[in-house]
Amino acid sequence: MDEVTQAVENLKREWSRVVAQLEVCIAAIESCVKLGKGTEEASSLPRLNGSALDALQLLNALQCRLDLLAEQLPTFEEVQSVQATLGSWKEKYQRTKAGMTSAAESTTDSLRRSRQLMVQEVGRSANTLSTFDGLPSVLRKAEGEYQGHRSLLMRTRGLLSTMQRQDVLDRIILTTGFLVFSLAVLYVASRRIGLFTLQRKLADAIRSGSVSAGDILGKVQEGPAPTTNAPPNFHV
């Protein structure tokens, strides 16, 4: 095998290696786009894109070198074979380039979505921080309201205690008044019962003739005896 043929074989092996490396990079880029790894995606995608572009440029250089070597082959059959291989390489290159373009567009969309999510997270974090900033004033206001309610409750409790004491005092006064009134009624009733008994006795004495009305009037005019409290004896 001459040097040109050996160089062609080396180019073929190099092409296969670079194509495999490029396919791994493209698959990794697509995986990052599909999974959406956030900050990890943002840090790994530039490195993967750089590796894929380097591999794509190397494939283009390998095509140019194979095209140059094809003209130096000794036989027509070998030239035709290398030309066919070069045609397949160009088709592979175009497909790979199109795949990388699609992957780049997907990557751009994914990064745009990640940026929007990050902006939303930053907005929510800012709202949370603003809420925390206003929390002390809210707590102070709540504490003031609590102190106001507490003082109101203390005054209400004092008023209830005063009302309870006043209720007890009113009950005592009512009970005492009722007792005094009851005693007065009993006293008046007993006096009236005594007078009724005396009147009945006088009426019986007058009807029986034991005493006359004139004697009763005389006794009334003379007044009660100063030295005794015994009732007069109308039976002679």
Average per-residue pLDDT in the chain?
77
97, 27 contact by CB (below 8 A): no
Q: What is the pLDDT of residue 172?
A: 92
Least confident of 33-37, 73-77, 127-131, 189-193: 33-37
Residue 231 DSSP label: P
- The answer for residues whose C-beta is within 8 angstroms of residue 128's C-beta and 6 or more apart is none
Confidence of residue 216 (pLDDT cuts 50, 70, 90): low
Tell me what pLDDT residue 101 has.
77
pLDDT in tens, 5-32: 888 889 889 999 988 988 888 888 777 7
Q: What is the pLDDT of residues 60-83, one digit of tens each?
A: 898 898 888 888 888 888 888 888
Domains and CATH numbers, the chain: 3-134 (1.20.58)
211 secondary structure, DSSP code: S
Q: What's the gap between Cα 145 and its chain centre?
A: 20
User: Which residue in this structure is represented by tokens 């009037």?
Assistant: 217
- The Cα-based distances of 45 to 58, 81, 100, 119 in angstroms read 20, 38, 13, 20
Asked if residue 228 has pLDDT above 70, the reply is no
pTM attached to this predicted model? 0.44
**Using one digit for the tens of pLDDT, what is the confidence trace for 142-185?**
777 888 777 888 888 888 888 888 889 989 999 999 999 988 88
